Every structure is written in C-alpha cells, then in structure tokens.
C-alpha cells in the first residue's frame, strides 16, 4: 500500500508530542487535512512563532517572549517571596490558582542521577546565587512529592542554609478525598503534616 510521504511526515511530526501514538497521530493528521485546514494553518503559524520567539527568562527561567518575563517585571508582586518549581508548567498551574503573588524560580528539572541530572544540570547554583543577591524572606519549595522531588528539596535546604526561611507546600489528603482511596505515602504525609483544628 502506497501512502503519501508528506502524510507520513506529518504523522511522524505529531508523534513527538507526549501521549501521541501512531493511531492518534494518524487521526490528527487526517482531521487537519480533511476537515480543518484553516485551523491547521493557524496551528502551524502559532507553533512557528512560539518556537522562534519564546525562550527562557534570564531571571526566573519561565518561558517568555520578552526579557525579563512579565512576572519578573511586575513590581506589584511580593519581592520577599520566591517560589521554586521544576518546570514552566508548574508556574502555569500556580498562576491559574490566583493564590500566589510572589515571584518564581524555575529549575531545569529534578535531581535524577539515573538520567544524568545533578545539581549543575538542573541549575541549583543559579537559584542559590539569586537568593543571595535578592535576599527574599521566604523561599517556597513547590516540588513534586517523589523521590527526585524530595532529594531536590533536601539539596535546596542544605544549599540555602540559614540565609532564608524555606517552606514547602502542605501535603496530604486532597479536598474531597476518601481515606480508603489514598496510597500509603499520601496518608503518611497527611498524618505527619497534621495541624491543630482552630476552635
């Protein structure tokens, strides 16, 4: 069976996206070609502009098309509160909540010796230098509750020492969560992080 080489190239290109396998890529390619060419062209143009113009912020490493990024330029944000995250997607999630008004510092991932990611690769030195220069009152570590996240948090606490108050996100039972549906790790964190009920 002879298939268009261009169609095959489009399917292969779509498979670079996370969670997109051969069948999903084929469906997407056919949908764009058969039903939505105008939107396909808009997608191609938006993708090209983003790839050409978006880069990492020189101060916080968030993704931006201006330097420094809009969050770093916003003087109304709390200069004394710095939130450490592992990727720009974490910044998006926190910003959507509308509950955090400080600044961010985005690492280039989490410590993972098996993947060759050490302190230098994820940029811990840049974080320590920034804290030393800007001297925030609080450094909120908002990393995943995984082995890699815990190891990275530990290194941050050691690296910052007593220079700043280090806090982390509360962990435990999610709102609406049933105890019998929780895994042991989450339940143990909830028990260890328990707080007094306000009267």
Phi-psi region of 16 (alpha: psi -120 to 50; beta: other; left: phi over 0): alpha
Mean pLDDT of the chain, nearest integer: 91
Which pLDDT does position 1 carry in this prediction?
Answer: 55
Q: What Cα–Cα distance (Å) separates residue 166 from each residue in 8, 88, 162, 171, 178? A: 51, 21, 9, 15, 30
For the chain, the structural domain boundaries read: 78-191
Using an 8 Å Cβ cutoff, are 3 and 25 in contact?
no
Which pLDDT does position 198 carry in this prediction?
Answer: 61
Of 12-21, 60-69, 127-136, 165-174, the one with minimum mean pLDDT is 165-174
Is residue 7's pLDDT more than 70?
yes
Q: Which residues contact 163 (CB under 8 A, 6 or more apart)?
A: 131, 132, 135
User: Cβ–Cβ contacts within 10 Å for residue 122, how many?
Assistant: 20
Which pLDDT does position 199 carry in this prediction?
Answer: 61
Instruction: Assign 197 a pLDDT band (cuts: 50, 70, 90).
Output: low
Mean pLDDT value across residues 165-187: 79
Say if domain 78-191 classifies as CATH 3.60.15.10. Answer: no
Mean pLDDT value across residues 135-164: 93
- Residue 141 host element (H or E): strand 138-141
- Residue 104 host element (H or E): strand 103-106
Which pLDDT does position 181 carry in this prediction?
Answer: 76
Question: For residue range 101-119, what is the model confidence (pLDDT) as tens digits?
Answer: 999 999 999 999 999 999 9
Question: For residue range 28-87, what is the model confidence (pLDDT) as tens digits?
Answer: 999 999 998 999 999 999 999 999 999 999 999 999 999 999 999 999 999 999 999 999
């Amino acid at each position: 069976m002879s298939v268009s080489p261009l169609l095959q190239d489009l399917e292969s290109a779509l498979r670079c996206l996370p969670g997109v396998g051969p069948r999903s890529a084929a469906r997407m390619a056919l949908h764009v070609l058969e039903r939505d060419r105008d939107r396909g062209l808009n997608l191609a143009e938006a993708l090209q502009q983003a790839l050409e113009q978006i880069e990492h912020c020189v101060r916080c490493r968030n993704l931006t098309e201006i330097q420094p990024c809009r969050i770093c330029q916003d003087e109304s944000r709390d200069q004394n509160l710095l939130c450490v995250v592992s990727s720009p997607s974490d910044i998006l999630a926190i910003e959507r909540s509308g509950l955090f008004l400080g600044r961010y510092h985005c690492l280039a991932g989490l410590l993972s010796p098996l993947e060759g990611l050490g302190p230098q690769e994820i940029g811990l030195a840049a974080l320590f230098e920034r804290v030393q220069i800007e001297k925030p009152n609080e450094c909120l570590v908002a990393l995943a509750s995984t082995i890699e996240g815990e190891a990275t948090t530990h290194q941050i606490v050691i690296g910052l020492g007593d220079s700043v108050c280090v806090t982390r996100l509360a962990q435990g039972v999610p709102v609406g969560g049933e105890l019998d549906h929780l895994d042991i790790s989450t339940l143990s964190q909830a028990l260890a992080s328990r707080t007094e009920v306000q009267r």
